[in-house]
Structure 1
Amino acid sequence: MSLVHKASVKVLHFRCASIIAKRLFTSSNPSNLLSDNPTTAQYDELVNDAGRSGDFNAVRHLLDKRVKDGCYNTANTFDFITNDKASLSTLDNLILTLTRLDKGFTRKGAFDVLISRLCNLGKIDNSLRVIETMGHADCGLNACSFHPILRALTRRNRIDESWRVVDMMRSLGVSPDSTTYNYLLMTHCAAGDLSSAATVLTRMEEQGMKANGRTYDALVLGACRAGKVEGALLILRRMEDDGVPMLLSTRLYVVDAFLSLGYYEQAVKFLRIYCGKDKWLDKESFGCLAIRFLKLNRMDEARLVLEEMKKRGLEMRDALKKFQENDCQNNQS
């Protein structure tokens, strides 16, 4: 069979499947296709079948009913929206359908999942169209609806566009929250741009927002990227004074900064000072440091960390256990 013939058969098969699906949904109540105890996966499959067939009445019915059944939307709910032109051409119909869903959680939840789907596809402009619809209809638009867009933009270092999204939030009557600013803050700090990071902090303070774990995490990263380890330690003291729990990534930024400077002893000392409050965090912190020492071929330092873990009763990863076992065997032979 030629490639052209195969392609023709594939297209024909797709068209037939779409026609059959459309007839199925339009000729019967889609609820009849559900089992007695429907699952989220089953609802996702039916919503996607209905969406691909263009039956948005069925899409609406299923989205309303699934929430009543406790089968909430997932990241797979709108898989029928893809980068394909034909798929994106149905977006207006889908948006209109969502505005007709039951008010409250059902409607807002569906819109938020659609925004996430579009952002995952890299369709930021389309997701902003969805935001505009939410802003001019009773769809529960809030800062959380913007988070996927800001996450997608800041990950691509599109900082100017991110600020324009923040301006859009305000124009639609939505107040930026700490997560909004933390996305921007992390982008500046990851680049070691402490001046821009300070601007973000100023805006947060002007709005009466308190720094949380993610805020401090970004600031510590920024200080470490700028080569200011002492500044990072000062931020950690402030974090401790404010009673904000430290994240694993925050500890590891400082550890990596010490290691990059060749300050191996200080890296161990740093963890000793800050450990003792969270056993999981201690286990991961010391474990990561030991792995880093092994990769750097700093065996004596790795042994020191493993002894510290043993003394503190911290569980070791399989790789560390294996290293310790081999080390003991080598010493005995």
Structure 2
Amino acid sequence: MSLLRRFVRESINSRFLLQSISGRSISTVNPNPIGHPGHRRTTAEFDNLIFEAGSSGDFEAVRRLLNTRVVNACFNTTATFKFLTNTESYSSSLEDLRRVLPQTDAGYTRKHAYETLIARLCKLNRIDDALILIKDMAIGNFELSTSTFHPILNTLTKKNKIEEAWRVVKLMRSHGVPMDVTSYNYFLTSHCYDGDVAEASKVLRKMEEDEEGKVISPDTRTYDALVLGACKSGKVEAAMAILRRMEEEGLPVLYATHAHVIGVMVESGYYALSVEFVMAYAGKDKRLDEENLGSLASKLIKRKRFNEAKLVLKEMSVRGLRMGDALRDFYQTNVLKS
């Protein structure tokens, strides 16, 4: 009996015994690429591992990594499916991804993997393929939601493919997925960027009379789009009125919203008014002051409105605001030495 125990004890770790049982040689490849105990992978490391696996065609490893990264709170990023590019291998890689994604862990892991891939396809301008993934999610009951459609709507409206975007909205509703304020904002921004106030007004009415019967309240980006539309139409007073409405409703104003107003004022020749505008907001947010005053000074210098530019730069100096190199040179040469 002691001889038998000795044989088992000595053989249990024997590579020869394991090889004999399996009938094949023992691989020296680490079956767990996630890392050694005690080492916590970063989000970037998971992206790199998925890139390597996807590029080499190891989609089972891609599936495992998608599962493991979420467990480790390293969520997907815009770089997760970066191996998928518009090359000869695109079609086969996409089919492999369609095969393995349904095998990822149910719930958030699977849903977010699909949504990240859809965003990647939109980046590659593969809208039809993104819609195929939407169909896959619907068939598999993989929790379609409004956010799933956001990259598609964003891409289409940016390319001014408005009719196609509304067809996607129809598809959303056929799956019981409602529009939200972000979805409407994509349409609104597209029309406002073109200065098409009439079409923008139609979108606003759609928001107020949403087909789902919900009240869709405008948010900061809604107002930013409206300010942009007013500025593109050269309607400075309307842009100012929208800003005042934002303040009355207690909504934060984006830096970009101020930039729209400053830009149209300078382009319209309202130089003194533009200075008054930025000064009215000065002192509340240092970074906003740097953005507003710096941008205005640069635009005034470009228009050769040096007196107004000097006034703005003096104000920046008094307030201790950071200037870019070009503005600093202009200030030292034309303000300090004058």
Query: Contact 2:157 / 2:187 at 8 angstroms: preserved in 1?
Result: yes
Q: Which residue, 36, 60, 66 being the options, matches 2:69?
A: 66
Query: Contact 2:34 / 2:41 at 8 angstroms: preserved in 1?
Result: no
Counterpart residue identity of residue 208, structure 2: E
Query: Contact 1:34 / 1:42 at 8 angstroms: preserved in 2?
Result: no
| CA–CA separation in structure 2 for the residues paired with 1:42 and 1:244 | 38
**Structure 2 unmatched runs, 5+:** 1-26
Residue of structure 2 in register with 1:323 after alignment: 330
Counterpart residue identity of residue 93, structure 1: D
Distance 1:42 1:311, change over 3 A: closer
Residue of structure 2 in register with 1:255 after alignment: 262
Q: Does 1:82 align with 2:89?
A: no
| CA–CA separation in structure 1 for the residues paired with 2:190 and 2:335 | 45
Q: Which residue, 297, 311, 314 being the options, matches 1:307?
A: 314
How far has the Cα of 1:84 moved from its partner? Answer: 1.9
Number of residue pairs the alignment of both structures matches = 306
- Percent sequence identity over aligned pairs: 47
Residue of structure 2 in register with 1:269 after alignment: 276
Matching of residues 57-206 of structure 1 within 5 Å: 57-206=60-209
Q: TM-score, normalised by structure 2?
A: 0.84
Query: Contact 1:220 / 1:232 at 8 angstroms: preserved in 2?
Result: yes
Counterpart residue identity of residue 229, structure 1: V
Residue of structure 2 in register with 1:34 after alignment: 35
- 3-state SS of 2:284 partner: coil
**Which deviations, in whole Å up to 9, do the C-alpha atoms of 1:112-159 show, x marking residues without a partner?**
110111111111111111112122323232111112112211221111
Counterpart residue identity of residue 122, structure 2: C
From the CA coordinates, give the structure whose radius of gyration is larger: 2
Distance 1:280 1:32, change over 3 A: closer
**Which deviations, in whole Å up to 9, do the C-alpha atoms of 1:54-78 show, x marking residues without a partner?**
3332221121112112222222221
Counterpart residue identity of residue 180, structure 2: D
Range moving further from structure 2, 51-60 or 292-301 = 51-60
Range moving further from structure 2, 171-180 or 181-190 = 171-180
Query: Contact 1:31 / 1:62 at 8 angstroms: preserved in 2?
Result: no
Counterpart residue identity of residue 242, structure 1: E
- 3-state SS of 1:173 partner: coil
| CA–CA separation in structure 2 for the residues paired with 1:69 and 1:246 | 36
| CA–CA separation in structure 1 for the residues paired with 2:148 and 2:176 | 13
Residue of structure 1 in register with 2:237 after alignment: 230
| CA–CA separation in structure 1 for the residues paired with 2:294 and 2:329 | 13
How far has the Cα of 1:27 moved from its partner? Answer: 9.1
Query: Contact 2:293 / 2:316 at 8 angstroms: preserved in 1?
Result: yes
**Which deviations, in whole Å up to 9, do the C-alpha atoms of 1:258-305 show, x marking residues without a partner?**
111111001111122233432221221111101111111211111111
Counterpart residue identity of residue 136, structure 2: T
| CA–CA separation in structure 2 for the residues paired with 1:80 and 1:27 | 26
| CA–CA separation in structure 1 for the residues paired with 2:173 and 2:31 | 40
How far has the Cα of 1:217 moved from its partner? Answer: 0.6
| CA–CA separation in structure 2 for the residues paired with 1:162 and 1:75 | 22
Matching of residues 240-251 of structure 1 within 5 Å: 240-251=247-258
Distance 1:309 1:104, change over 3 A: same
How far has the Cα of 1:219 moved from its partner? Answer: 0.4
Range moving further from structure 2, 113-122 or 54-63 = 54-63
| CA–CA separation in structure 2 for the residues paired with 1:192 and 1:30 | 57
Query: Contact 1:192 / 1:226 at 8 angstroms: preserved in 2?
Result: yes
Distance 1:321 1:53, change over 3 A: closer
| CA–CA separation in structure 2 for the residues paired with 1:174 and 1:86 | 33
Distance 1:266 1:303, change over 3 A: same
Q: Does 1:239 align with 2:279?
A: no
Residue of structure 1 in register with 2:294 after alignment: 287
Q: TM-score, normalised by structure 1?
A: 0.85
